[in-house]
Structure 1
Amino acid sequence: MHDLPPAAGRPVTRRDALRFAGAVAGLGAASLGWGAPEAAAAAPTLIDFAAKQIPAQQIRAAGHSGVVNYVSTSRPGSSFGAKPITLPYAQSLTAAGLVIVSNYQYGKPGGTAPSDFLRGYAGGVADARTAWQLHTAAGGGQSAPVFFTIDEDINRDTWNRVALQWFRGINSVLGVQRTGVYGGIDVCQWALTDGVIGRSSTPGRVWAWQTKAWSGNRVHPAAVLYQRIVSTASNPGPLVGGLEVDVNDVLASDVGQWNLHP
């Protein structure tokens, strides 16, 4: 999207921030550390991680408002403690006033299972069924979206030939409104243009979780989440509960959190 400005889209307003606070069970704006009413509103943040379940109170103590957690299993040869999210862990997060957003990723480039989107339409059907089973088993909202991951830089031809077919398979199971995408800015735009992701109740926003990777310092104006910190071996993310995490800025009051989508 070369016509996008270099700035990070529409900033989160105080109204957005307060609406999001209202959706976080048991937490108000002050307890989230957003300061006095006259101060500028700070965007809430969600963290994502895979290696282990970080205790809810440690997430709160670090100043985050919730998590994006996996509704997928670990790849062969790996055992990630936070994949998939479990009902007891979800209940502990909710009890601490933290929100939960669902994400599906099984394979990845260079992993023991290839990128999920390479499996095309039939793979999308299978992945959507797995994601929804794990999402609902953990208590996920019946109308909440699941964000499906494209964790690499792809071109439009690959999107059209392969990834789009995967998303159409996902849509055939979940419907468009419960389907979201994770990826760089181009992937977010293609998913929006081709009508395979749903819309947030926040006006002008869709189920696009954009990563800073492959995005050229641009943020899609319709994204609901922006992965501003991507933890890597050369550039580790902040520690929460002793684990390096990714940090995501909340760009809308409705980012698909379970408690807004019962």
Structure 2
Amino acid sequence: MPVSRRDVLRCAAAVSASAALGAAAGKQAPAAAAASPTLIDFAMRQIPAEAIRAAGHAGVINYVSTSRPGSSFGAKPITLPYAKSLTAAGLVIVSNYQYGKPGGTAPSDFTRGYPGGVADAKAAWHLHTAAGGGRTAPIYFSVDDDIDRQTWNDLALPWFRGINSVIGVMRTGIYAGIRPCQWATADGVIGRSQTPGRVWAWQTRSWSNGQIFPHAVLYQRIIDTASNPGPVVGGIRVDVNDVLAQDCGQWNFHP
């Protein structure tokens, strides 16, 4: 079948984006590598690697957590066969843990304090390594809520310290709005990227008032909602994240 100019451009974008990330792992990148590769995150089901590449994305942020009671998300958790298919297609993988959710059938993970952090880190590390995740790669733990400083100090900070006690600070990252990203950095509970000046902060546009944390490695720019749907990749709507650092915690850079 004839290949359209649009398909050629999409393929070129995917190759450039993957090369830009792969350069951190010692692979040669083309001179005109994409300035801002993107990773997608999703939960509904596994999206074929070919569809992700065709859409021009460099890889995925995938869950190393199971579905909440009453739900059945096909992409939770990431599996070894799926991870292998992504890697074989030249796509990168970043790990994220989120089990509970505000208003969901399980409470937000961070509300369970230090003991909850210990339990969540053990569960996340088991699923991460079972899927072939890098032994030195970080896992981003989600604060999927607009919390204040008191809630951070009383609940989320002890939760992160529980996580640190299991997998160490250098393997701990945060997903949150700008303020928890700042607090986590100041309190020393998340690790540092090998990209100078960057930490394991995956910042969402939500609750960030249009600001981007200058030390973040990932920025969730497009958030799929009923009122503002995200782009469709492989038949499902996804969130889109800008890669802000060459080392954003991708498995291939952290064997």
Structure 1: gaps of 5 or more residues: 1-15, 30-35
* 1:131 maps to which of 124, 132, 137: 124
Give me the whole-angstrom Cα distance separating, in 2, the residues matched to 1:25 and 1:126. Answer: 35
Deviation string 1:103-147 (CA, Å, 9 cap, x unpaired) is 000000010001000000000000000000000000000000000
8 Å CA contact retained: 1:24, 1:99: no
Percent sequence identity over aligned pairs: 73
**In structure 2, what is the equivalent of residue 102 of structure 1?**
95
Q: CA deviation at 1:17?
A: 8.9
- Alignment counterpart, residue 85 of structure 2, candidates 87, 92, 103: 92
The alignment partner of 2:193 has SS state of coil
Relative contact order higher in (CA < 8 Å, ≥ 6 apart): 1
RMSD of equivalent CA atoms = 1.8
What is the Cα deviation at residue 42 of structure 1? 2.8
1:172-251 counterparts in 2 under 5 A? 172-251=165-244
Matched, 1:46 2:47: no
CA–CA distance in structure 1, aligned partners of residues 20 and 87 of structure 2: 17
Per the TM alignment, residue 22 of structure 1 is displaced from its structure 2 partner at its CA by: 2.2
Q: Which runs of 5+ in 2 are unaligned?
A: 1-16
2:11 — aligned with what? none
CA contact (8 A) 1:17 1:253 kept: no
User: Counterparts of 2:186 and 2:94 in 1: how far apart (Å)?
Assistant: 23
Residues 125 and 169 of structure 1 are in contact (CA less than 8 Å); yes or no, is this contact kept in structure 2? yes
**Superposition TM-score, scaled by structure 2 size:** 0.90
SS of the aligned residue for 1:126 comes to: helix
Please list the CA deviations of residues 165-186 of structure 1 after superposition, one character each: whole Å capped at 9, or x if unmatched.
0000000001000000000000
Aligned with 1:181: secondary structure? strand
1:163 to 156, 165, 175: 156
2-side partners of 1:76 and 1:246: how far apart? 23
Aligned length: 239
Distance 1:26 1:195 in 2: 31
Q: Structure 1 26/18 Cα, relative in aligned 2: closer, same or farther at 3 Å? A: closer
Letter of the aligned partner of 1:252 in structure 2? A
Deviation at 1:19, TM superposition (A): 4.8
* Aligned residues of 1:17 and 1:43 also touching (Cα < 8 A): no
Which residues in structure 2 correspond to 1:16-35 (within 5 Å)?
A: 19-23=20-24, 29=30
TM-score (structure 1 length as normaliser): 0.88
Amino acid of the residue matched to residue 55 of structure 2? A
2:69 aligned with 1:76, yes or no? yes
Structure 2 counterparts to residues 111-130 of structure 1, below 5 A: 111-130=104-123
Structure number with higher helix proportion: 2
Distance 1:241 1:21, change over 3 A: same
Deviation at 1:20, TM superposition (A): 2.0
TM-superposition CA deviations, 1:5-27 (whole Å, max 9, x none):
xxxxxxxxxxx996524257989
Q: Tell me the secondary structure at the aligned position of residue 209 of structure 1.
A: strand
Structure 1's 102 and 169: CA in aligned 2 closer, same or farther, altered over 3 A? Answer: same
